[in-house]
Every structure is written in structure tokens, then in C-alpha cells.
Structure 1
């Protein structure tokens, strides 16, 4: 059950990002969408999020680069990585940036919710 959690969705695919934000809103979460990691970084100057859902492969800063950048600055916001591409080393890369989960598009919304809720329980 959502607890007024603020979720950031970062994905360069406009239709996917909008659909995911709308799905999270319909489930009772607060959700905001960002077209790039750079847009998200500008947003966190004024606010914070309980969890980040970010695409791995994006123009500019990738989701993995974003997680490395945040970690290097002491940010501890949990993140779920999502991707439509297959990469045999992606699970290891996700673990290396302390992602709480990795989902391959298309994925079940319940799987994403399980990762989000599990990450913020602590």
C-alpha cells in the first residue's frame, strides 16, 4: 500500500514515461517524469524522491552513470533500473551501482511495485 511515496521516473521514451507515471499515480503514489538524467538532476535541486525508476540506456547520461553520480555525492535514494535492451552483464552493472532491482521492458507493474515497496521499507 503506498505511503505518500514520491517516485521519479526517468526515461527518454515519452510514451512509456507518461504511461508509467500515470500508472503509479493511479496506484496512489506521487510520481513525476523526467526525459533525461540531466532533467532529473535539475529537479532534485528543489525536491527529493523516495525512489527513482530510471532507464539504463538514454542519450546523454545513462541510468548507470546517474546512479554512479548520485552515489559519489552521498545520495542514498533507492533506484530500480529498467531497460528494453539485453546485455549479459547488466545484472552485475546494476548490482555495482546498488540498484534495488532491474526490470526488462515490458515488465509487470506488480514487479516494479514490489521493488519500490521493498526498497523503502527500511
Structure 2
């Protein structure tokens, strides 16, 4: 794999997590692989930002105050947004995984996860948002 690749700097990913360390870590990781990444501390901050159309993918924590990651996913689908959503959680219960995929999640990651797992989720979410080489 050859990273970072500047041709993918226009691929924008929204990171939503109430933990600042996770947000900052994911933003740095994604930027190191050539993605444009912005971070939000809550689902409502992302929704209120009015920039959903600028993103190619959303990576969100499952358990957050206010609106959970699954509730964010369900809201996006209800509002007609079809962008890929990757959910991540430190509590990967089978019922939550089932609800996530039923609601249209592209991927479900258990924290902690390796960078390669996230990159594979981006690949799974759709070729338009990834540049992971086989």
C-alpha cells in the first residue's frame, strides 16, 4: 500500500465520537492515509453543521450522550441520506450489531480495532470512498 495518496484528499469522512482522544486519533489516522477527515463531538453537532452533503462516509461511536450512533444512522436514512455509516463500539452486543445492520450500517467495529480493520470497512462501504489496494 502506498500512503498518503493526495488524489484522495477530496474524500471527506465525518468522525462522530464523544471521546476527544478517539476523535483526534481517528482524524490523524485517516489523514495519514490521505483522506480529508473532520470530527464532531456528538451526532447533533454533525446534523446541525449542515454539511452532510460534503461527506462520503460517517464513522460514529455507538454509545454517546444525546443521540446514539444507531439513532444517527436511522435519522440519516429517514432523512434520505444514503452515505455509508460505520459504527464502532466498545460494547459489541449481538442485538446492537443486528440492529445496526438492519438499519443500514456499512460496517460494525469493536473497539479497540486495528487501522487495517477500519480501512477494510471503508473498502466494504464502497469503492468511491476508499483507496485500499489489494
Q: TM-score, normalised by structure 1?
A: 0.92
Give the Cα separation in 1 of the matches to 2:106 and 2:21: 24
* Alignment partner, residue 52 of structure 1: 58
- What does the per-residue CA deviation read over 1:81-115, in whole Å, with 9 as the maximum and x for residues that have no partner? 00011323122011111111100100011111111
Within 5 Å, which residues of 2 pair with 1:1-122?
Answer: 3=8, 4-45=10-51, 47-121=53-127
Deviation of 1:46 (Å): 7.0
CA root-mean-square deviation: 1.6
Tell me: CA distance 1:86–1:5, structure 2 relative to 1, closer, same or farther (3 Å).
Answer: same
4+ aligned runs moved over 4 Å, structure 1:
none
Q: Distance in 1 between matches of 2:16 and 2:52?
A: 17
Tell me which structure has the larger Cα radius of gyration.
2
Q: How many residues align?
A: 122
> Where does the alignment leave 5 or more consecutive residues of structure 2 unmatched?
129-134
Q: Hey, what's the Cα distance between the residues in 1 that align with 2:28 and 2:96?
A: 27
Is the contact between residue 82 and residue 105 of structure 1 (CA under 8 Å) also seen in structure 2? yes
Is this contact kept in 1: 2:15–2:39, CA < 8 A? yes
Unmatched 5+ stretches in structure 1: none
Q: Give the structure-2-normalised TM-score.
A: 0.84
